[in-house]
Structure 1
Amino acid sequence: MDVAGNNMDFWSIHLYDFPSIGGGQKKLRSGSNVEATLDMMEQYSYMSFGEVKPFVISEYGAQMHDYSNQQWSPYRDWLHLKAQNAQLMSFLDRPNNIASAINFVIVKAEWGYNNGIPYNHRLMRKENEPTSYTGQWVYTDMVKFYQLWSDVNGTRIDTFSDNLDIQVDGYVDGNKAYVILNNLNFTDEEIDLDVIEIDGLSIASLIKKHLYLDGSNLPQLLEESIAVNTSTVTLNAESTMILEYTFSNAILIDETTTETKYYATTYLQPIIANQTTNFQVNDVLKSTFGEAVLRVGLGRLHGTSLQPTIKVNGTLIDVPENWRGDNQTQRERFFGVLEIPVPFSLIQADNTVSVEFGDTGGHISTLTLQVFNFSSDLRNLTLDVQDNKLAPSIKLYPNPTKGVINFKGAVNYNNIHVYNIAGLRVKSFKKNTEIDISELTNGIYFLKTDTGYHFKVLKNNCIVFEVVVHLLI
Structure 2
Amino acid sequence: MKKQVILVIYSLLISIVSLAQNTVSIDLTTQKFIGTKSELSREKYFSMHGSYTDGDLAFDAVYLFDQLGIEFGRTFGGPKPFKKDKTTEPKLDQAYAEAAKNVERYKNAPMYESFKTRDLILTDHPKEAFQLNLNYEKVAEYNAEFIKKAYPLMPRYYEVMNEPFVHAKEYVASWDETEAVIVEMSKFHKVVADKIHAQVPGIMVGGYSAAWPEMELKDFWHWNTRMKVFMDTAGESMDFFATHIYDGRNVEGDFNYRSGSNAEAILDLIEAYSYKKWGKVKPHLISEYGYTSKGLVGKPYSAELNGTCLVSYNKILMSLMDKPDRLLKALPFITGKGSWFYNDKRNPDQHPYPWVISRKLSNGTYKYTHLIKFYQLWKDVEGKRIDITSNNPDIQVNAFGKEGKAYIAINSLADEVQEVTLDFLNKSNSLINNTTLRRLYLNEKGIPKLVFFTNISELKTLELKVGETVILECDVNAYEFENSLHEQNYYTKTYLQEIIANKTLEFTLEQVSTGKKGRASLKMGVARAHNLSKQPIIFVNGKQVKVPTNWAGYDQKPRKEFFGVIQIPVDIKYLKEGNNQVEITFPDNGGRVSSLILNVEKYN
TM-score category (smaller protein): 0.7 to 0.9
Q: What is the correspondence of 1:304-315 to structure 2 with a 5 Å cutoff?
A: 304-315=532-543
Q: 1:18 to 1:352 in 2, by over 3 A?
A: same
Q: Could you list the per-position Cα deviations for residues 422-458 of structure 1 after superposition, in whole angstroms to 9, with x for gaps in the alignment?
A: xxxxxxxxxxxxxxxxxxxxxxxxxxxxxxxxxxxxx
Deviation at 1:20, TM superposition (A): 11
Match of 1:434 in 2: none
Q: What is the correspondence of 1:225-236 to structure 2 with a 5 Å cutoff?
A: 225-236=454-465
Q: SS of the counterpart of 2:568?
A: strand
| 1:136 is the counterpart of 2:370 | no
Aligned match for 1:45, one of 237, 253, 274? 274
Match of 1:126 in 2: 360
Deviation at 1:302, TM superposition (A): 1.6
Q: Could you list the per-position Cα deviations for residues 48-102 of structure 1 after superposition, in whole angstroms to 9, with x for gaps in the alignment?
A: 1221111111111110335444211110011111111111111110011111111
Partner Cα separation in structure 1 for residue 232 and residue 352 of structure 2: 39
Q: Could you list the per-position Cα deviations for residues 318-364 of structure 1 after superposition, in whole angstroms to 9, with x for gaps in the alignment?
A: 11110000011111211100101101111013211111111111100
Any conservation in 2 of the 1:21–1:27 contact (CA below 8 Å)? no
Match of 1:316 in 2: 544
Match of 1:327 in 2: 555
Equivalent AA in structure 2 for residue 241 of structure 1: V
Aligned match for 2:471, one of 229, 232, 242? 242
Any conservation in 2 of the 1:280–1:351 contact (CA below 8 Å)? yes
Any conservation in 1 of the 2:515–2:572 contact (CA below 8 Å)? no
Deviation at 1:196, TM superposition (A): 5.0
Match of 2:379 in 1: 150
Q: Could you list the per-position Cα deviations for residues 238-295 of structure 1 after superposition, in whole angstroms to 9, with x for gaps in the alignment?
A: 1110001112x21311311111111112000001111111111122111232221111
Partner Cα separation in structure 1 for residue 497 and residue 429 of structure 2: 50
Match of 1:463 in 2: none
Partner Cα separation in structure 2 for residue 125 and residue 101 of structure 1: 24
Q: 1:232 to 1:66 in 2, by over 3 A?
A: farther
Aligned match for 1:111, one of 337, 340, 346? 340
Partner Cα separation in structure 2 for residue 242 and residue 107 of structure 1: 25
Match of 1:408 in 2: none
Match of 2:235 in 1: 5
Match of 2:304 in 1: 75
Q: What is the correspondence of 1:200-239 to structure 2 with a 5 Å cutoff?
A: 201-239=430-468
Q: What is the correspondence of 1:169-184 to structure 2 with a 5 Å cutoff?
A: 169-184=398-413
| 1:98 is the counterpart of 2:332 | no
Equivalent AA in structure 2 for residue 151 of structure 1: D
Match of 2:521 in 1: 293
Partner Cα separation in structure 1 for residue 589 and residue 328 of structure 2: 38
Q: What is the correspondence of 1:11-90 to structure 2 with a 5 Å cutoff?
A: 11-18=241-248, 27-65=256-294, 67-90=296-319
Q: Could you list the per-position Cα deviations for residues 211-261 of structure 1 after superposition, in whole angstroms to 9, with x for gaps in the alignment?
A: 0000122100011115322211111101110001112x2131131111111
Partner Cα separation in structure 2 for residue 301 and residue 14 of structure 1: 25
Q: What is the correspondence of 1:373-412 to structure 2 with a 5 Å cutoff?
A: 373-375=602-604
Any conservation in 1 of the 2:499–2:586 contact (CA below 8 Å)? yes
Q: SS of the counterpart of 2:458?
A: coil
Match of 1:433 in 2: none
Any conservation in 2 of the 1:42–1:52 contact (CA below 8 Å)? yes
Partner Cα separation in structure 2 for residue 274 and residue 198 of structure 1: 48
Partner Cα separation in structure 1 for residue 363 and residue 359 of structure 2: 9
Partner Cα separation in structure 2 for residue 228 and residue 151 of structure 1: 21
Q: SS of the counterpart of 1:201?
A: helix
Q: 1:146 to 1:200 in 2, by over 3 A?
A: closer
Q: What is the correspondence of 1:448-459 to structure 2 with a 5 Å cutoff?
A: none
Q: Kindly indicate which of the two structures has a greater share of residues assigned to strand.
A: 1
Match of 2:55 in 1: none
Partner Cα separation in structure 2 for residue 18 and residue 200 of structure 1: 40
Q: 1:185 to 1:56 in 2, by over 3 A?
A: same
Any conservation in 1 of the 2:439–2:468 contact (CA below 8 Å)? yes
Partner Cα separation in structure 2 for residue 244 and residue 19 of structure 1: 34
Equivalent AA in structure 2 for residue 164 of structure 1: P
Structure of greater relative contact order (alpha carbons < 8 Å, 6+ residues apart): 2
Q: What is the correspondence of 1:363-442 to structure 2 with a 5 Å cutoff?
A: 363-375=592-604
Partner Cα separation in structure 2 for residue 189 and residue 20 of structure 1: 30
Total equivalences in the alignment = 367
| 1:344 is the counterpart of 2:578 | no
Q: SS of the counterpart of 1:253?
A: coil
5+ residue gaps in structure 2?
A: 1-230
User: What is the root-mean-square deviation in Å for CA atoms of aligned residues?
Assistant: 1.9
Q: SS of the counterpart of 2:330?
A: strand
| 1:353 is the counterpart of 2:582 | yes
Q: Kindly indicate which of the two structures has a greater share of residues assigned to helix.
A: 2
Any conservation in 2 of the 1:30–1:87 contact (CA below 8 Å)? yes
Partner Cα separation in structure 2 for residue 298 and residue 26 of structure 1: 19
Which stretch of structure 1 is more off in the superposition, 104-113 or 360-369?
A: 104-113
Match of 1:450 in 2: none
Any conservation in 2 of the 1:21–1:66 contact (CA below 8 Å)? no
Q: 1:233 to 1:20 in 2, by over 3 A?
A: farther
Partner Cα separation in structure 2 for residue 306 and residue 180 of structure 1: 30
Q: SS of the counterpart of 2:584?
A: strand
Partner Cα separation in structure 1 for residue 232 and residue 251 of structure 2: 32
Equivalent AA in structure 2 for residue 344 of structure 1: I
Which stretch of structure 1 is more off in the superposition, 145-154 or 299-308?
A: 299-308
Q: SS of the counterpart of 1:78?
A: helix
> What TM-score do the two structures reach when normalised by structure 2?
0.59
Partner Cα separation in structure 2 for residue 124 and residue 320 of structure 1: 44
Partner Cα separation in structure 1 for residue 474 and residue 249 of structure 2: 33
Q: 1:19 to 1:182 in 2, by over 3 A?
A: farther
Deviation at 1:124, TM superposition (A): 0.6
Match of 2:65 in 1: none
Partner Cα separation in structure 2 for residue 270 and residue 173 of structure 1: 47
Equivalent AA in structure 1 for residue 358 of structure 2: M
Q: 1:196 to 1:190 in 2, by over 3 A?
A: farther
Q: SS of the counterpart of 1:70?
A: coil
Which stretch of structure 1 is more off in the superposition, 116-125 or 5-14?
A: 116-125
Q: 1:202 to 1:260 in 2, by over 3 A?
A: closer
Deviation at 1:203, TM superposition (A): 2.3
Partner Cα separation in structure 2 for residue 220 and residue 111 of structure 1: 29
Q: SS of the counterpart of 2:583?
A: strand
Q: SS of the counterpart of 2:387?
A: coil
Partner Cα separation in structure 2 for residue 90 and residue 102 of structure 1: 13
| 1:160 is the counterpart of 2:394 | no
Any conservation in 1 of the 2:434–2:458 contact (CA below 8 Å)? no
| 1:278 is the counterpart of 2:536 | no
Partner Cα separation in structure 1 for residue 587 and residue 297 of structure 2: 43
Partner Cα separation in structure 2 for residue 27 and residue 187 of structure 1: 18
Any conservation in 1 of the 2:500–2:586 contact (CA below 8 Å)? yes
